[in-house]
Structure 1
Amino acid sequence: MIVVIGGGPAGRYAALRLGHAGREVLLVERGSIGGQCLNYGCMMVCALNDAARHLEECRRFAGAGIMHGEQMVDFSALLAGMEGVQGRIRGVLDRETSGSGVTIRYGSQAHLEGRRVFIDDEEVEAEAVVVATGSSPLIPDIPGTGLDGVHTAHTLPQMAALPGDLVIAGGGIQAAEFAYIFSRLGCSVTVLARSGFLHHLDPRLRRIALKELEGVEIREHAPLTGISGTSRVTGARFGGDRPGEIGADTVLLAAGLVPNSRMVDGVEKGADGRIIVNDRMETSVKSVYAAGDVTGGPYLTPVARLQGVVAAENILGIERRYHPEGVPQSIALRTHLAFCADGETEGLELSIPGPAGPGTFWSVPSGDTGMAKILVGREDGRLGGVWAASPGAGIIATYLADAIRHRRTVFELDGLLEVHPIPDGVHGLIGYAASHLREQQK
C-alpha cells in the first residue's frame, strides 16, 4: 500500500496517478478534499472576485448612463453561495479520486517518523509515502493576532459581516487581490506592506494594478507591529519611517504562507519547515516523497499538481524530474495581470496597450484596456518573457510559458491566428517582433 498524506492538489494528483496505475493507495485527509486551492485560495478568490468585478462593471455602466440603480451585495449570502459551490466541487473531486481506486480516509491525522507512518496513532505498513500536507498562513509574531476580527484566508469564510474599516497586512499578490475584492464590495481598505507593494512585479503591470486599486490606501514600508483592542479589533499599529496607528474593525493577515510540516519528523527540513526534496521529489528518507507547498514556494496549484505526478511516477519506476523554470503566474483584479519570464533581462522589449474586445470594449473611453509586453532575443528571436493585462491574460501566459520553456522563437510563433475579437495584444507583438528582426537581419 502507498500512503498519501494530504488531499490538496499535490496529494490528490499523486493518488490519482497511482490509482490509475492499479496500485493500492490510501489518501489521508484530516479536513476537506481540494486543499488550500479549493477551500481557502484560488476558488475563494474566484468567487469573491466575480462578485466584486460585477459590482464595478455595474458602476461603470451606470457612469456611462447605460444602467440605473445602485447594486448592493449581501455578504452573508455571498459566503453561503460560495460554500455551496465549493461543496459541489468537493463532491466531484471525491468521486473522481475514489473512482480511480483510491481509498480516502477523512478526519484522520497522519504522522510520519522517518519511514514509519502513523494514522491516528496507529502504525500502518506502507511501501512508499507521499507527504503533501500543504501550507498554512503566516501569522506574524505580534500582539493582538488572537483578537476577534483578525482573519486569514482560512478564516475569512467565517466573517460575520462585511468589514467597515479593513486593514490588510501584506504587500504581495494575495494582499492585492483581497484589497481589490473588499474595496469593490464597499469596505474602506488600507494595505500595510512590510516593504514595497508588488515590488517584484513588472513596472507596467504594477502601474495597472495600482490604478485598478484606486480608492485603496497603500502604505509601503509600514510593517504591521500590533493589533489593538481588548476582545475585538479596534485598530492596527505599524512601524517604518513614519509609524502610527489606524482604526479598523477587521484585520486580514495576507503576508504569505509557511510549509505545514509539523506532523513530519525524521526527514531533512529547511529553516522555514519546508521538506527538502530533489528533482524526483524524494526526501532524505528512502521511499518517502514530498510534493506541493510543504516543499516550499512557489505556492502555486499547478506546481503542486505537477510535483505530485512526478512523485507518483518515480514511485511507479518511471523516471521523471521536476524542472521549475518558466512558471506562469497571475493576479486577479478587475482584469487579470499575468506574467512569465525565463530570467533574462536583455533583449528586444516591445509593449502596446491592450485592444478592445470582450471585457474591454467599455474600457476604451477611460484607456483601461490593459497592456501586452514581450521580451525577445535580438539575435535568435527567442521568446524570453510575456506580460499581459487583459480579461484572458492567464490563458495567454499559460501557453506562452510553454513556448518560453521550450525556447521557441517569434519566427516559429509568427503567423499565429487568434480567435477574433480577443482582448489580447501579445499575438500581434509576436508577429511584429518577427518582422522587425527579419528586417534587422537582412
Structure 2
Amino acid sequence: MIVVLGGGPAGRIASIRLASAGKKVTLVEPRGKERGIGGQCLHFGCMPVCALNDVARIAGTTRRFYERGMIDTLPAFRFRTVMDEMLAVQQKIAGILDEETRQAGVNVVYGKAGRVDERQVFIGDEPVDCEAAIIATGSRPNIPSIPGVSLKGVFTPHTLWDLRELPGKIAIIGGSVMAAEFAYIFQEFGSSVVVLARSGFLKNLDPHLRAVAIKELSGVDIQEGTEVKGIAGTDRVTGVRYRRTGEEREIPADAVLLAAGLIPNSGMVTGIGKGTDGAILTNDRMQTSIPGIYACGDVAGAPFLTPVARHEGVVAADNILGKERHMDYSRIPQAIYLAHELAFCGGGGEGIASLALPGPAGPGTYWSVPYGDTGLAKIFAEPATGKIAGICAAGPAGGTIAGYLAFLMQRQVTVHDFEEFLEVHPSTDGIYGIAKYTSEIFRKRNAP
C-alpha cells in the first residue's frame, strides 16, 4: 500500500497516477467530507480568488459603461449571497474531485490527520505499514506576530470566507500577489482599501507589468515601507497602527486581511530533513531524506503554485513506480488576476534585449481604449539567436498565453519562428505580434 497525506493538487494527482498504475493507494484528507478534497487551491486560494474576481470585473466594467452613459444604473451586488454561492460551487467541485479520485481506485479517508515520524506513517494514531508514502500536506497562512492579530475582524485567506458583510474599510497587510489580488477585489466591490507593504509592493515584478498593476489598483491606498505595530480594537478591529518614514500612524479599518504569504504545513512531520521555513527538503525526484518517503506541493516549499504542485505529484508518483523522472523549475509561468491577467515567465539578464508595447484592443479590452489600459505585451530575447528568454502579458488571456510561451521556451523557440505564425483576429494576445517585430529588428541589426 502507498499512503498519500493530503488531498490537494499534489496529493490527489499523485494518488490517481499511482492507483491507475495498479497500486493500492490510501489518500488521507484531514478535513471532513463536507469540505472535501481540493486543498489550498479549491478552498482558500485560486478558486475563491477566481470567483470573487469574476464579480469584481463585472463591477468594474459596468461602472465604466455607466460613466460613459452606456447604461442607466449600476448593479448592487449582494456580498453575502456572493459568498454563499461561491461556497456552493466549491462544494460541487469538491464532490466532482472526490468521485473522480475514487473512480481511479483511490481509497479516500476523511477526517483523520496523517503523521510521519522518519519512516513510520500514521493515520490518526494508528501506525500503518506502507511501501512508500507521499507527504502533500500543503501550506498555511503566514500570520505575523503583531499585537491584536487575534481580534474579531482579522482574517487570513483561510478564514476570509467567514466574512458575511462587505467591510467599508479594509486594511490588507502584505505586498505580494495575494495582497494585490484581494486589494483589487475589495476595491471593485466598493470598500476603501489600504495595503500595508513591509518593503516594496510587488517589488519582484517586471517594472512594466508592475505599472499596469498599479494603474489597475488606482483606487487603493498603497503604503510601502511600513512596519505594522499592532491592530487596534477591544472586542473587534477598529484600525491598524504602523510606522512609516519614522512616523507613527493609525488608519481606521472594519476588517484586516493578513496576506503575508504562505508557509509549509509540515508540523506533523518529524525525523525528516526540513528547511528553516519548515519546507520538507527534497531532490528533483521529490525524494526526502528518508528512503521511501516523498514530499510534493506547498509542503516542499515555494513557489506555492497549483500547476507546480500537480507536476511534483506526477514526478513523485512516477519515481515510486520505478519510472525515473525529474522536476524542472526553469520555466514556470505565473499570473496575477486583477482587471487583466498579469502573467509572466522568465525575464531579462546579461545579453538579453527586451521590447514592450501596449496590448491590442480586442475581446475584453475594446472598451478599455478610452482609458488607455488595453494591457501589455513584452518579450525578452537574445539578439544573436532570437531565442526567447521571457515574456510578460497583461490582458484577458494573459495566463493562457504565458503557459504556452513557457512550453515553447522550454523547446528553444525563437522570435524568428513566429514569422510564420498566423493569429486569430481579433485577439488580445500581443506576444506573437511583438515577436514578429522583434525578429525583424534582430535581422536588421545582425545583417552584414
- Output the TM-score relative to the length of structure 1: 0.98
Looking at structure 2, the residues matched to 143 and 345 of structure 1 have their Cα atoms a distance apart, in angstroms, of 45
1:152-167 aligned at under 5 Å gives the runs: 152-167=156-171
1-structure distance, mates of 2:191, 2:68: 24
- 1:63 is displaced (CA, Å) by 1.2
Superposed CA deviations along residues 5-35 of structure 1, whole A, max 9, x for unmatched, are 0000000110011011010000000113000
Please state whether the residue corresponding to 2:183 is helix, strand or coil: helix
Structure 1 residues 304 and 388, CA gap change in structure 2 (3 angstroms): same
More moved, 338-347 vs 281-290? 338-347
How far apart are 1:239 and its partner, in Å?
2.3
Quick check: 1:407 aligned with 2:379? no
| Paired letter, 1:180 | Y
* Residue aligning to 2:30: 30
Moved more, 326-335 or 411-420: 411-420
- Aligned residue number for residue 377 of structure 1: 382
Shift of 1:224: 2.0
- CA apart distance, 1:342: 5.3
Residue 416 of structure 1 aligns with which residue? Answer: 421
- How much has 1:349 moved relative to structure 2? 1.2
Q: Tell me which of 59, 71, 77 is aligned to 1:67.
A: 71
Q: Which residue of 1 aligns with 2:274?
A: 269
Q: Structure 1 pair 343/267, CA: closer, same or farther in 2 (3 Å)?
A: farther
Check the 8 A contact 2:360/2:374 in 1, yes or no: yes
Distance 2:200 2:103 in 1: 47
The answer to whether the Cα contact below 8 Å between 1:169 and 1:223 also exists between their aligned partners in 2 is: no
Distance 2:187 2:320 in 1: 47
Q: Write the letter of the residue equivalent to 1:4.
A: V
How much has 1:406 moved relative to structure 2? 2.4
**Separation (CA, whole Å) in 2 of partners of 1:92 and 1:164:** 36
> 1:413, CA displacement in angstroms?
3.1
**Which has the larger displacement, 54-63 or 231-240?**
231-240
1:440 to 432, 440, 445: 445
User: After the TM superposition, which residues 289-438 of structure 1 pair with which residues of structure 2 at under 5 Å, given as runs?
Assistant: 289-341=294-346, 344-438=349-443
The 2-side partners of 1:383 and 1:132 are apart by 34
Query: CA-atom RMSD, angstroms?
Result: 1.0
What is the rounded CA distance, in whole Å, between the counterparts of 1:273 and 1:218 in structure 2?
31
Provide the aligned length of Structure 1 versus Structure 2.
Answer: 442
Q: CA deviation at 1:230?
A: 1.1
Shift of 1:160: 2.4
Q: How does 1:11-50 map to 2 (within 5 A)?
A: 11-31=11-31, 32-50=36-54
CA distance in 2, matches of 1:313, 1:190: 46
What are the superposed Cα offsets for residues 91-122 of structure 1, whole Å, 9 maximum, x if unpaired? 11111111110000011111110110111101
Determine helix, strand or coil for the equivalent of 1:208: helix
* Higher mean C-alpha displacement, 399-408 vs 303-312: 399-408
Give the secondary structure class of the aligned counterpart of 2:354: strand
Alpha-carbon distance in 2 for matches of 1:414, 1:117: 55
Corresponding position of 2:227:
223
- Unaligned segments of structure 2, at least 5 residues: none
Give the Cα–Cα distance (whole angstroms) in 1 for the partners of residues 76 and 181 of structure 2.
20
Is residue 29–residue 105 contact of structure 1 (8 Å, CA) maintained in 2? Answer: yes
Q: What is the alpha-carbon distance in structure 2 between the residues aligned to residue 272 and residue 371 of structure 1?
A: 35
For the 8 Å contact 1:169–1:192, the answer to whether it is kept is yes
8 Å contact from structure 1 (residues 340, 385) kept in 2: yes
**Aligned mates of 1:123, 1:157 — CA distance in 2:** 35
8 Å CA contact retained: 1:13, 1:309 = yes
What is the alpha-carbon distance in structure 2 between the residues aligned to residue 295 and residue 343 of structure 1? 27
Return the letter of the residue paired with 2:315. V
1:17 alignment partner AA? R
Residue in structure 1 matched with residue 116 of structure 2 by the alignment? 112
2:356, 2:347 → 1: CA distance? 18
Counterparts of 1:89 and 1:422 in 2: how far apart (Å)? 30
Q: Is the 8 A contact 2:348 2:354 kept in 1?
A: no
Instruction: Give the drift of 1:76.
Output: 0.6
Correspondence list, 1:184-263, <5 A: 184-241=188-245, 242-263=247-268
Q: Once the two structures are superposed, what CA deviation does each residue of 1:170-228 show, in whole Å capped at 9, x if it has no partner?
A: 00000000000001101010000000001111111111111110111010001322111
* d(CA) in 2 for partners of 1:178, 1:253: 11
Report the alpha carbon displacement of residue 345 of structure 1 after superposing the two structures with TM. 4.7
How far apart in 1 are the matches of 2:349 and 2:16?
36
Distance 1:389 1:126 in 2: 47
Q: Residues of 2 paired with 1:340 and 1:156: CA distance?
A: 30
Letter in 1 for 2:379: I
Instruction: Identify the residue that residue 151 of structure 1 maps to in structure 2.
Output: 155
Unmatched 5+ stretches in structure 1: none
Aligned partner of 1:99 among 99, 103, 119: 103
Matched, 1:4 2:4: yes
